Amino acid sequence: MSDQPAKIPIQAVKGTKDILPAEARDWQAVEAAVKAVFELYGYREIRTPIFEATELFEKGTGETSDIVVKEMYTFVDKGGRSITLRPEYTPSVARAVIEHRLYLEPRPLKFYFIGPMFRYDKPQKGRYRQFHQIDVEVFNEPDPGCDAEIVEMADTLLSSLNVTGTETLVNSVGCPKCRPAYHDELKAHASRLERRLCPDCQRKAQTNPLRIFDCKVESCRALTRDFPNIADYLCEECRDHFARFRAYLDLYGIKYRIEPRLVRGIDYYTKTAFEIIAGHEGAQNAILGGGRYDNLMKDFGGPDICGIGFAMGVERLLSVVNPARPKEKFLYLAWMGEEAKRAAMELARFFRAHGIECLVEFRERGLKNQMGRANKLEASWTVIIGEDEIRKAKYQLKDMSTGEQREADRDEIAAVIKGA
Ligand code: AMP
């Protein structure tokens, strides 16, 4: 063995990133907006574990989906179980609803969640291996009004975050009654092209031909341009659902475009599919995607109740959003001598109990040095504490934006700062 200690990698693992304090403020603003908006629509937060049994995603997300075929973080734990870091949220929520029989509760089954997801994907701009999703799920509501309300809620969230220039795409992916005929038609078209489709599309043509439309390879896109549209294959029920969904979107004044090639990459979708994309072109422009999954719960061995939801990528959202962030206000306590340091620490405790952010240095510095620090840190106020101030229990409060200085006791200081 070498005497050299092993080198510790000082770099986050490929495809992951740190959210540093300056950026974390934006995340907090997004999280606060999510909570404020979604709870108005009767959604409640649900939190499930980061990992689940692998079969949950194999069965839920679907054995032919790209996520399951290529992207799962799967490992065997010390007990010999196959575990997967969740690549998406819907199967976890469906599992929790069944396990805890939440469907028996009188509350509407409307859930939201924010947290990390894991996909072993090729990292690139806007695409990470650990990324975060805002997720929404509704169970047991078959009415297309619910589909429209979900899209309207996403739109309201984006508006509340001042996201503009987005486009809403909608489609219907049919159901197990009408989709097989469309699958057969696509398979026939794909086989006529023989080997001109990329190997991935050739595989999809056999396993799940709808997925061919997800392909980003330009030649495949060109070759499949005149493949038939699913709209011409929908059964009466799916066609009616899609028409009513669109009518409710019109009612809400939501502008949308019907995108016949919008099929979503996951096996369980039925009927409604939608995406909201950022205005600019590019492969990573989907901010959110979702749809209806009427058979997932039944397929999981749960009750025969339908579901619908969407997932929004937080990193993608933050790339198009600029949350209004008020300037942080805080009080810098300057002191001279051990006694004043103790007084500063006590005062900080008092002010913080009044909800005022405070910063106290622990190392002795000259007064000039401390005022320089307060300036550099962009403190809103400073309080200067010396022997005289301690004796009188009155302190010099300086407003750093105006330079005004006044003498005040701690209650007056708290009142001035709180009133600002
Ligand atoms: P999906 O579950 O694939 O429909 O993804 C839903 C949303 O999550 C997308 O619209 C993106 O905003 C985001 N997303 C998906 N995969 C990634 C990734 N690898 N990195 C960052 N964001 C992602």
86 lines ligand 1 (CB under 6 A): no
Q: Given a cut of 90, is residue 117 above it in pLDDT?
A: yes
Q: Given a cut of 90, is residue 265 above it in pLDDT?
A: no
Q: Contact at 8 Å (CB) between 97 and 126?
A: no
Query: Does residue 271 sit in helix, strand or coil?
Result: strand
Q: How far is CA 55 from CA 61, 81, 98, 290, 306, in A?
A: 10, 10, 16, 22, 21
Residue 235: per-residue pLDDT: 97
In this prediction, residues 363-384 reach a mean pLDDT of: 95
If one counts every other C-beta atom within 10 angstroms of the C-beta of residue 399, the result is 15
Residue 145 structure tokens: 């009004």
Q: Rounded to an integer, what distance in angstroms lies between the CA atom of residue 41 and that of residue 35?
A: 10
Better-predicted residue by pLDDT, 7 or 37: 37
Residue 108: per-residue pLDDT: 86
Residue 191: per-residue pLDDT: 87
Q: Rounded to an integer, what distance in angstroms lies between the CA atom of residue 314 and that of residue 34?
A: 11
Residue 154: per-residue pLDDT: 98
Residue 41: per-residue pLDDT: 97
Residue 282: per-residue pLDDT: 53
128 lines ligand 1 (CB under 6 A): yes
Q: Rounded to an integer, what distance in angstroms lies between the CA atom of residue 173 and that of residue 292?
A: 9
Q: Whose CA is nearest to atom 11 of ligand 1?
A: 313
135 lines ligand 1 (CB under 6 A): no
Q: Contact at 8 Å (CB) between 395 and 385?
A: yes
Q: Contact at 8 Å (CB) between 174 and 234?
A: yes
Residue 353 structure tokens: 């109990």
> pTM value?
0.90
In this prediction, residues 186-211 reach a mean pLDDT of: 86
Q: Rounded to an integer, what distance in angstroms lies between the CA atom of residue 76 and that of residue 2?
A: 31
Q: How far is CA 210 from CA 187, 198, 306, 344, in A?
A: 9, 15, 22, 67
β-strands 51-53, 270-278 pairing: unpaired
Residue 378: per-residue pLDDT: 95
Q: Whose CA is nearest to atom 8 of ligand 1?
A: 313
Q: Given a cut of 60, is residue 266 above it in pLDDT?
A: yes
291 lines ligand 1 (CB under 6 A): no
Residue 214: per-residue pLDDT: 84
Instruction: Give the strands of the sheet with 130-139, arranged side by side.
Output: 44-45, 109-118, 130-139, 307-313, 286-292, 270-278, 166-172, 257-258
Q: Rounded to an integer, what distance in angstroms lies between the CA atom of residue 318 and that of residue 34?
A: 13
In this prediction, residues 336-348 reach a mean pLDDT of: 96
In this prediction, residues 86-107 reach a mean pLDDT of: 95
Residue 2: per-residue pLDDT: 56
Residue 78: per-residue pLDDT: 97
Nearest CA among 417, 299, 406, 396 for reference residue 351: 417
In this prediction, residues 74-93 reach a mean pLDDT of: 97
Amino acid sitting at position 200: D
pLDDT digits (tens, 9 = 90+) for 374-403: 999 999 999 999 999 999 999 999 999 999
In this prediction, residues 180-194 reach a mean pLDDT of: 89
Under 8 Å CB-to-CB from 378, ≥6 apart: which residues?
A: 327, 400
Q: Given a cut of 90, is residue 308 above it in pLDDT?
A: yes
Residue 134 structure tokens: 């805002």
Query: Does residue 109 sit in helix, strand or coil?
Result: strand
Q: What is the CA radius of gyration of the chain?
A: 28
Residue 284: per-residue pLDDT: 61
Q: Given a cut of 90, is residue 85 above it in pLDDT?
A: yes
Cα(132) to ligand 1 centroid in Å equals 8
Provide DSSP, 36-47. HHHHHTT-EE--
Percent of the chain scored above 70 by pLDDT? 97
Ligand 1 pocket test target in 70, 288, 318 with most atoms within 8 Å of CB = 288
pLDDT digits (tens, 9 = 90+) for 199-233: 888 888 888 888 889 888 888 888 888 899 999 99
Cα(58) to ligand 1 centroid in Å equals 18
Amino acid sitting at position 290: G
In this prediction, residues 165-173 reach a mean pLDDT of: 95
If one counts every other C-beta atom within 10 angstroms of the C-beta of residue 129, the result is 19
pLDDT category, 283, cuts 50, 70, 90? low
Q: Given a cut of 60, is residue 262 above it in pLDDT?
A: yes
Nearest CA among 354, 397, 359 for reference residue 376: 359
Under 8 Å CB-to-CB from 289, ≥6 apart: which residues?
A: 264, 273, 274, 275, 276, 310, 311
Ligand 1 pocket test target in 16, 86, 131, 163 with most atoms within 8 Å of CB = 131
Least confident of 130-134, 195-199, 279-283: 279-283
Average pLDDT, the chain: 93
Cα(390) to ligand 1 centroid in Å equals 57
Residue 392 structure tokens: 């009188």
In this prediction, residues 340-361 reach a mean pLDDT of: 97
